[in-house]
Structure 1
Amino acid sequence: MDGYCVSCRKKLFGGRKVSHVLNFDPPKENNYREYQHLTKKLSISGVQLKYSLILDGTVLKLTESAGQYILKPVPNADHILNKDQAPENEHLTMQIAAQLFGMDTADNALIFFKDGSPAYLTRRFDIKPTGGKYLQEDMAQASGRTRQGQGENFKYDGTYEEVGALITRYAAAPVPALEAFFKQVLFNYIFSNDDAHLKNFSFIESPMGDNILSSAYDLMCTELHTPGGVETALGLYKGDTDNEFYAREGRYGQVHFRELAKRMGIQPVRANRIIATLLAEKSAVHQMVEKSFLSAAAKQQYLSYYDSKVRLLGTNERLIADQFRKSTFPPDVMVRVFFYRGKQPIVGKIIHTLADDPASVTNNHFAFVEEVNLKEYNQTGDASLVTVIDADTVVEVREVG
């Protein structure tokens, strides 16, 4: 790594040429008192220590007040796997969210201590350019949940639907805020972040004084460090496990996220667009992971978790139309459809029969005629030759040459 690019320097440091190597070592036994003195109020999120930095000219320094940046070294908890990968895990996941999916994220970078060990650096978005802070309130505070009132696990008490209700009630522009929140929730699921709790979503005061949803923060693949746990920090909505898909798979599928969007008041066409967007960049995600600073083993694990979720979530009309560069559905091409759990692929054409049926669109079903029946169907229009496909179970639609 030769240093930060011009764009990164502009976002993080106002264009100043700041080194990607800090002039001090990470917290260790021999310097812990110095860290403790300089950062008297250490913030602990789970097992992650956070330190406050200030930019003095072109040098980042530890500070106990007026911090402009947050520094996260490698976690020191013994039960965390792949600890040394944590800084790049968060940096990579945040960059994927911003670069590939256009999500509003906190500005961030990977940085290194003097001894070469990595850390995650992020610029605080609650600091005003003129000094002082924008008012910020996380969703635990907004919902009135506290450690005293709800116990130690207060930030895990609730559902994402309830957070959506808070956004509807308090955000100055609730519609775009709800869509941004829904996108974050689905992104966290796809990238196996099981720690997106109430304190990891916030309202913040805008420069105009409005109450808006803050930039996304703390995005990472937690499965890389604490595998085998729950897949989401909060439930999606009450009763989210009471359906056929969950009974079969024991996990959330696309049907759950469509239902969450519906309950939050997001229009189906918008929800389907967001779902399609987050499922559409498989090749680009793989490329970013392969080019990252993760170890070879961590890259393999990261992509394994990601690929598993993408397969589980299936496809939809918008994603298929985009794949074939069509403005409307269905594409007039011969395709091979591949299904989840190894069901035999089928070859034929997707037809328009159900494309205008609201119930079919809502349930993510489309009509298909297999190749062996196409000639007869085109001549007779016999409905018995049509197969209704549940797109939630489709992992790939590939054009047949």
Structure 2
Amino acid sequence: MIFCLSISHRNAGLPMLESLTFEDEERVLKEVYLMDFVQECILLQTCHRVEIYCATDKVAKEVAKRVIKFWSKKVGVSYDVLEDVLRVYYGKDALLHLFYVTAGLKSMVIGEDQILGQVRTAYVKAKKLGTVNLILEKVFMKAVNVGRRVRTETRINEGSVSISSASVDLALKELGSAKKIKALVIGAGEAGSIVVENLHKKGVKKLLIANRTYSRGVKLASKVSGKAIRFNQISEALPEVNLVVAAVSTKKPILKAKEVRKALGKNKSNGLFIIDISQPRFVEKKVNLLDHVTLRNIDDLKGVVEKNIEKRLSEAEKARRIVIGELKLFENQLGRIMAEPVISKICRKIEEIRRIELRRVFQKIKEKDERKKLVIESFSRELAERMLQIPIEQLREAALKNNNGLLSSAEKLFGVKIEKQEE
């Protein structure tokens, strides 16, 4: 059976989430994998969620308790506190949860694309460490495909839903081609970084970044082949650009109309489009009265963002229908996937016995009588296949119903043992 232990922004505040995050992901993966009865495991850790996915052939609830105890000791949080914020999903519910996650339906920003890459990265890490095998490989690959289909067949990831990304869209709409934009971004914090990165992705080549802490501006500029300037050089830089985005905390407006007028006097041909997403405002309101200057603020963007959020929410129902449909199809394959390790071992064991007994029989037959040998070979193969047909069907059905007891009994009856990972 598959189970998932999940903590996210939905059931824990940021301080709690940070306290439950693992520092050494690789070590955690290896330690969970080495626990009794954990056959496979994957760790998905992002800014807004920490999740451990496991596959086991034992009673999933008991194995989950062991992993929760490990988690609480690892991060130094009591079992009761961890259990209180933890969400645990088993079997079909775990699959549905993972499919919803990759579809962006459980993200803080609904429909965001980043989670799809994060899920795939989590799988690749586990694969490299050898903590994932047949079951979770199939599950995670399916989840990634479901996430891609949702984004292809719906518009759940369209339209900016943050003020920072919406400001970039507005700039492109106003100024046209990204190649024409020469931008100055004031602020290298979270909002400013999003603006800078989005402008870079859209193809803006000239990017100046001003920040109170110069070194932070330098660090951000290096990521996008931009240029950092000091905070007191903002006025000097204005004649070089046609777009200014201010995303910085301030107690009162700092960029005054007289400074902007002076800059325009040096280069009127550029004109200036200013977007102020600072709270409170960084740019003096009078700037909007200047010729060749357009000033937009956070209030102008809120309406756009709210409309985009509404559009994404309306697309979410389409996305859910796709997920449910994919889950139903995948359920039919799940029994085969879950039972395959046991079935494979049993078939190999029977085949091994068949060949040993055939050699004994052939030793009693004259070497020249090849026809008789072929008849016996064919008979023994068909007999083995016919005798295994019903047990195999029952094992696949048991796996589909999460009946781990029958799978365990089959291991004992046929004298096989399922290893965690075959090298």
Q: Same fold by TM-score, threshold 0.5 exceeded?
A: no
TM-score bracket, normalised by the shorter chain, equals under 0.3
Say which one has the larger Rg: 2
Structure in which a larger fraction of residues adopt strand = 1
Relative contact order higher in (CA < 8 Å, ≥ 6 apart): 2
Q: What's the TM-score, normalizing by structure 1?
A: 0.22
Q: What's the TM-score, normalizing by structure 2?
A: 0.21
